[in-house]
Amino acid sequence: MAITTRLTQLTLLSAATLLAASPALAQKLRLATVVSAPHPWVDAAEAFKAEVEEATDQRITVDIFPGGQLGNDQTVVDEIRIGTTDMIIGGVQNIAPYVQDFEIFSLNYLFDDMDAFRAATAPDSAVFAHFAEEMESTGTGLKLLALTGGGTRNLSTNTGPVTEPSDLDDVKMRITGSQLDAKMWQAVGALTTSLPWTEIYTGMQTGVIGAFESTISGFYSSRLYEVAPYHAKTEHQVMMSHFSIGERSFSRLSEEDQAIVLAAARRAGELGTEKGVEYDAALIDTLKEQGVTVTEVDKQAFIDASVPLHDEYAAERGVSDLLTLIREL
């Protein structure tokens, strides 16, 4: 009995010694996005993965799930909140039900140019600080790592070319779940309906919708040109996107690894914005090669219909100070 007890003690001691000497247990992060390559969000995800895995010597690995493999954005956010998925890169409109102030980015023609957009998304900007605090204080269970782009949003249809707002009269148009998004497009005559991104293709095929708006890269990578052969260069939004991690997932990381993840996400966010600019320039000609009719629009007519709603919305929602902050960029 004494010999057996002694052997057991030695075995436990050896196991404890090996565990103490071994490196920290590897951790895996699951990162979801609804789009497929080529797309700035996928590029940002891949850059994040490469940097984190190298910086941690594979102590942290990142599995990327593009193309809505883990569900639409709302589903993924719910999964992150309960801890079954870790990270998301997606449009801020789809997280606005949790952080209402994000809805402000559904205002068409909010940014004058890309420089203003870059200023807003910079990690040290007052705009970023506002939304990082809002995400934390509203109890979403998510932590904002970076704001990023995704390209310029344009309008696509299968009902014919669009050059002015009246071309959208009574056209059934897909929007996100944002009520402000609906108001923006109702102001130019469209009949709006909420539909997940992953259902646009079949919605266009079946006649549920006849129009939608998206980035050029999203339009191309999801092959939506197959069901929407008309593309109007409304250039009404720069795609505001968020790169977020579950608070549960983030808290499991050491302070050192948290710093690595945060730095990598911010650099990936900057890359996503620049890739959006690149894709906008490169893919528009590719769309023409696919038989898509690309039209210029009377942009001022669209601006005149949209901009009066900016102050009205801000006053209704009590975010006039936030709107002023963005304008002053």
- pLDDT value for 178: 82
Q: What is the SS3 assignment for 119-151?
A: HHHCCCCHHHHHHHHHHHHCCCCEEEEEEECCC
Q: Profile the chain (329 residues) by mean pLDDT over runs of 10 residues.
A: 45 42 71 94 98 98 97 93 96 91 95 95 97 95 97 97 97 91 94 94 98 94 96 96 97 97 98 96 92 97 96 95 93
DSSP per-residue letters across 184-246: HHHTTT-EEEE--GGGHHHHHHHTS-SEEEEEHHHHHHTTGGGT--EEEEEEEEE--EEEEEE
pLDDT for the residue 22:
39
Determine the pLDDT at residue 36. 92
Predicted pLDDT at 179: 85
pLDDT for the residue numbered 329: 83
250 token code pair = 């983030």
Provide the pLDDT for residue 1: 47
Question: Which domains, ranges and CATH numbers included, belong to the chain?
Answer: 26-151+239-280 (3.40.190.170), 152-238+291-314 (3.40.190.170)
Residue 213's closest CA among 188, 201, 231? 231
pTM of the model: 0.86
pLDDT, position 26: 81
Q: What is the pLDDT of residue 3?
A: 45
Provide the 8-state DSSP code for 24.
P
Separation of CA 90 from chain center: 2
